[in-house]
Structure 1
Amino acid sequence: MKTINHYFPSNQYYKEETKKKGIVLHHTVSGNSVAGDINWWKSNPQHVATCVIIGRDGKIHRLFSSKYWAHHLGIKRFHFKYFGLPSLNKKRNKEFIGVELDSWGGLVKRNGKYYSYTGREIDKDNVVYYKNEFRGYHYFEKYTDAQIKALYELLLYWGKYYNIPLNYKGEVMFKYNKRALSGEEGIWAHVSFRPDKSDIHPQEELIKMLKSL
């Protein structure tokens, strides 16, 4: 598994080795520009980042070692309180490795065309439709086959290296839920921890890959 290594300042993440119990899947809500994502994180003083971003072409971009950590969940006190849990955002960020898939995420349809929140038109062949909506959107930009393949390889590697169980958790993965917030080990999505997020969406090809791990 090849990675593209990037310079990422050590003051933008925490160079502290922590025990890993799970992996959280995100998407960037940005265009096909890994460099843009990295520069945005560099401009943010709050240590927000994930150790890896997977580009639309399936290339794995590594910012820092997965042994270390940065803030990628942003769980608020009231998110924990909803389930009667203690507020442990920092602990969850330390325990769970974050990985981003480059994607515009949720889209809107106007006059038969599809647009990102910035007004960027997205090719209809790259759009997936959810009849009953997902987190407020009927349409999302698809994750590419190359991204899903690269994510598969990465999950297998991390699963073996950190002894993380990779079994697919079913529909609960795509719902705001107590199991994730309680720190249950395994693979989760950002939506598992927060009701206000829409990453990742339950694309058929992605779920098929997760079931095959």
Structure 2
Amino acid sequence: MDKQWIGCAQGNFRVGRPAGFKPDIIVLHSADGSLAEAGMRYKKSGALQSMHYAIGNNGEIHQYVQEADTAFHSGLVVNPSAGFIKQKPNTNPNFFSIGIALEVPVVGQPTATQLAACSKLIREIADRWGINVDADHVLSHSAIRASVNCPGSSVDIASLIAAALPDPAANLVAGKQVGLLSRANLRGRPSVSAPVVRVMDAGSKVDVVSFAVGDVVSGNGFWYQDKDGCFFWAGATDRPNPQVLATPNEGDASTDTMVLGGQPAAVVAGLAINRSRFRLPAGQFFTERPKKDLIVLHFTAGSSAKSAFDTWTGDAQHIAAAYLVDVDGTVYEVFDPTQWAYHLGVQGFNGRLDQRSIAIEIANVGPLRPAADNPEVLNWWPPRRGQTQPFGSKYCDKTQTAKYMQTNYRGEQYFATFPTQQVQAIRLLLNDLCGRFAIPKTLPPKAKQFERDLAFFQHYSGIASHVNFRSDKWDIGPAFDWAALGIANAHGA
């Protein structure tokens, strides 16, 4: 990880650690203000206060004391709740700890970027010193000194620990081989800022022993580790998603294509996924990785993938879909489908339906209505510029029968159709996701395919659409060519 060395005043820390102590625990603090204020405090002569690291709201990491040296951050012990501290009643905790402070946000909660940086730093420190990443070894300052509320209730240490745990599949790639699609730099750690140890040519075959999550390049944060302990970016290989390489039936699984050289690399036959153009920033989706057993299809009620993406960026409500499929059939991954965001808008389930499902948003304008001034023209919902009347923007003439379907569904008579290339892209994406996540490749029973039935769909596994969960929605509606998916309906009432 990139860190900015700041340093602190002599006398505010101790060189080395006494009596052979080494770091055994990581202690989390509040910085009691901004990153700048923390740095000034540690540089003030005679303050007798310091920290190894502090992390800004934007994820920037400042370092003040070397990890091998003793920072003064947790020396006063008051009614400790931490078992590790109780086991050493007469020992200064500074001798065997590393301190990390979090910059206090001006308003609201710690940012997702800040917390993600904290988890990565915890993981890096733990690997360096052999520290177990658990509640006994990653703890709050208040667990040592009960008289302080530090770092405060807004910092969920359990979530930080969970995010810092290594991927359980990391060791399952040992003994596997990957091929390089382009030249790759081998580095000492999974970061583009790490020095290059050597360079491998395109076409090389490399035996790997593990993988890690490091710097994100073109939407891919996975890095392989070779037998010599060097790391190289997984996106340069024919297996850009190491989690697929770790599966027992890897030969049949999707390789989860990544963007290479700015272009989608179609390693899975016929399917290309662009992971760079519409990528949702960290903090606008949830990083938990719940089990997935459901795929929900939506349409954007807009004319392009970009129009949908623009409504999600900067939205603090964490509303988004993992995938966008544009009119031309281009598939965009917005965030890792193992994670989640709100997309259903169903009350009373505390997000459980959103967590277990993967959302696919399809660029389609949805229902159409005849224009008020010309019934031979079909409009979609946006008003004309300068007007407030909905369904005021022209979509097509009624003579353009390939662009719409006339039918009666939920109070509307006309619906925009989906281009063939878009439907085929959706078919390939569904095949990929069902295979990758072991989701049943079935559509709802015919009697329920276009109906809302929460009692049924809260337990249904397979492929569904938004109308199955909301009676006030039309997506993806009757105009979609369901038969072109080649997927059978599930049996049921």
Per the TM superposition, whether the score is higher than 0.5 is yes
Going from structure 1 to structure 2, the CA distance change for 1:165 and 1:192 (only over 3 Å counts) comes to same
What is residue 20 of structure 1 aligned with on the other side?
Answer: 292
1:39 matches 2:313: no
Unaligned runs of 5+ in 1: 77-86
Instruction: Tell me the equivalent position of 2:451.
Output: 175
CA distance in 1 between counterparts of 2:284 and 2:464 reads 24
Alignment partner, residue 101 of structure 1: 362
Residue 121 in 1 paired to residue 394 in 2? yes
Q: Distance in 2 between matches of 1:36 and 1:205?
A: 23
Distance 1:7 1:168, change over 3 A: closer
The number of residues matched between the two structures is: 199
Please give the TM-score of this superposition, normalised by the length of structure 2: 0.39
Query: 1: distance between equivalents of 2:301 and 2:456?
Result: 25
Report SS of the residue matched to 2:448.
helix
Identify which of structures 1 and 2 has the higher relative contact order when contacts are C-alpha pairs closer than 8 Å and 6+ apart.
1
Structure 1 match to 2:344 = 73
What is the alpha-carbon distance in structure 2 between the residues aligned to residue 70 and residue 172 of structure 1? 25
Match of 2:426 among 147, 151, 173: 151
**TM-score normalised over the length of structure 1:** 0.88
1:190 and 2:466 correspond: yes
Larger radius of gyration: 2
Give the superposition deviation at 1:202: 2.1
Q: Is the 8 A contact 2:296 2:465 kept in 1?
A: yes
Report what 2:413 is aligned to: 138
What letter corresponds to residue 449 of structure 2 in structure 1?
M
Question: 1:126, CA displacement in angstroms?
Answer: 0.9
In structure 1, the partner of 2:61 is none
Structure 1 partner of 2:481: 205
Q: Which residue matches 2:438?
A: 163
- Partner Cα separation in structure 2 for residue 210 and residue 198 of structure 1: 22
Q: Which amino acid aligns with 2:419?
A: T
Identity %, equivalent residues: 25
Q: Is the 8 A contact 2:423 2:484 kept in 1?
A: no
User: CA shift at 1:120, angstroms?
Assistant: 2.1
Counterpart Cα distance in 2 of 1:89 and 1:188 = 20
Residue 331 (structure 2) aligns with: 60
Q: Displacement of 1:129 after TM fit?
A: 1.0
Map Cα deviations across residues 61-108 of structure 1 (whole Å, 9 max, x no partner): 1111110100000002xxxxxxxxxx3140100001000110110110
Runs ≥4 residues deviating over 4 A = none
The amino acid of 2:376's aligned partner reads: G
User: Comparing both structures, which one devotes a greater share of its residues to helix?
Assistant: 1
Determine the C-alpha separation between the residues in 2 that align with 1:29 and 1:171.
25
Could you tell me how far 1:168 is from its partner in structure 2?
A: 2.5
Cα distance change, pair 56–113 in 1 and its aligned pair in 2 (3 A):
same
Deviates more, 1:97-106 or 1:36-45: 36-45
Distance between the aligned counterparts of 1:3 and 1:149, measured in 2? 13
Q: Tell me the CA shift for residue 57 of structure 1.
A: 0.2
Q: Does the 8 Å CA contact 1:167/1:210 hold for their aligned counterparts?
A: no
State the alpha-carbon separation in 1 of the partners of residues 434 and 484 from structure 2. 18
Residues 1:88 and 2:349 aligned together: yes
Structure 2: runs of 5+ lacking an equivalent: 1-270, 383-391
SS of the equivalent of 1:11 reads coil
